[in-house]
Homo-oligomer: A and B are copies of this chain.
């Protein structure tokens, strides 16, 4: 029995032409531990945008039914050499109903159930997914389960990482995002200190309503003073940043060092011995990261990605994290969406220009069967 449905593909040619279009695809029968999922909802996360539109000129792209063709600027295109000519699927995660399974018991047990999954081609009417990575949703809707993996596991991952490094406080540079709100709830539940940076006063209110204790607004004149006070109060010398470009990481290191030097009894030209640690886990700003020589040598900055992190912690920790997500799907790990679009609507100019802006709290959900 061959199953046929629409799936989105993205192709970047060597000359910088980016083509995203829907194609009719025939899905092979699932085998072994695979399941075939009829997809009902998939979020557009920043990590998906990197492969969908990246730095392409979407203002002047050609849009037609179920397709757009855009130009990638030369520098971005040169940096994307490894994908030139490859026709790639898109969509990390989503939720739907299992309609067929391979031979394994774990796969067969999922037939008929609604699951959250991480297929890598979630912008599609059907997906083949690994049963081991499927989370049965029980009575939850597909919309409730669509974002059950990337943001929840990332937010939990930050806390796992911090604990493993002996930290009891975290700084997060984009506090009001869906992920930031989850992190706020997790830290509250786990008694982990949290410094949230936001950009607007309504975001301060939003997080305060979630019970956040330290929310600092980068638009305020005394932002640096607020930030230093919050780091002092929590001991958050360990932070996560999804922006990447510009001076946000630099600002965090500077504030951490200010707190550390204020606690020193003797001057050192090399700065404090307080270890300062930041992770960049996204690239909302693709301009370069700027690090000024203002905080000595006691700092470390790393890239952070969910999948290598999950590989490093092992199956048991990951199982515990997933169980916690499942148990708290509509509370701690709830996601909000601004708009719901079909696969076709997802490729219209209005939609693309809106979701590529990645404004805090304005996430899109793709519903392939609407």
Residue of B whose beta carbon sits closest to that of A296: B303
In this assembly, does A192 line the interface, its C-beta being within 8 Å of a C-beta of chain B?
A: no
Q: Evaluate contact between B86 and A245: CB separation under 8 angstroms.
A: no
Measured CB to CB, the closest approach of chain B to A91, in angstroms, equals: 12
Q: For chain A, what secondary structure do more than half of its interface residues adopt (helix, strand, loop), or is it mixed? A: mixed
In this complex, how many residues of chain A approach chain B with their Cβ under 8 Å: the count is 40
Residues on B with beta carbons closer than 8 Å to the beta carbon of A290: 288-290
In this assembly, does A64 line the interface, its C-beta being within 8 Å of a C-beta of chain B?
A: no
Measured CB to CB, the closest approach of chain B to A123, in angstroms, equals: 14
Q: Which of A290-328 contact B (CB under 8 A)?
A: 290-294, 296-305, 307-308
Residue of B whose beta carbon sits closest to that of A291: B289
Q: Evaluate contact between A269 and B83: CB separation under 8 angstroms.
A: yes
Choose among B86, B292, B308 the residue that contacts A288 (Cβ–Cβ < 8 A). Answer: B292
Residues on B with beta carbons closer than 8 Å to the beta carbon of A1: none
Choose among B47, B267, B269, B298 the residue that contacts A50 (Cβ–Cβ < 8 A). Answer: B269
Residues on B with beta carbons closer than 8 Å to the beta carbon of A300: 300-303
Q: Evaluate contact between B294 and A79: CB separation under 8 angstroms.
A: yes
In this assembly, does A33 line the interface, its C-beta being within 8 Å of a C-beta of chain B?
A: no
Residue of B whose beta carbon sits closest to that of A281: B297
A211 to B269, CA, bound (A): 36
Residues on B with beta carbons closer than 8 Å to the beta carbon of A269: 47, 50-51, 83, 88
Q: Evaluate contact between B281 and A82: CB separation under 8 angstroms.
A: no
Measured CB to CB, the closest approach of chain B to A244, in angstroms, equals: 6
Residues on B with beta carbons closer than 8 Å to the beta carbon of A283: 293
Q: Interface readout for A87-102 with B: 1 if CB under 8 Å, 0 if not? A: 0100000000000000
Residues on B with beta carbons closer than 8 Å to the beta carbon of A280: 297
Measured CB to CB, the closest approach of chain B to A287, in angstroms, equals: 8
Q: Evaluate contact between B267 and A88: CB separation under 8 angstroms.
A: yes
Residues on B with beta carbons closer than 8 Å to the beta carbon of A286: 293
In this assembly, does A219 line the interface, its C-beta being within 8 Å of a C-beta of chain B?
A: no
In this assembly, does A113 line the interface, its C-beta being within 8 Å of a C-beta of chain B?
A: no
Seen from chain A, the residues whose Cβ lies within 8 Å of a Cβ on chain B are: 47, 50-51, 79, 82-83, 86, 88, 244-245, 250, 261, 264, 267, 269-270, 273, 280-281, 283, 286, 288-294, 296-305, 307-308
List the 5 closest A-B pairs by CB distance, nearest first. A297-B303, A289-B291, A300-B302, A297-B305, A51-B269
What are 18 A-B interface contacts by the 8 Å CB criterion? A47-B269, A51-B269, A83-B269, A86-B267, A88-B269, A244-B293, A270-B305, A270-B307, A280-B297, A286-B293, A288-B290, A289-B290, A289-B292, A296-B305, A297-B304, A299-B302, A300-B301, A300-B302
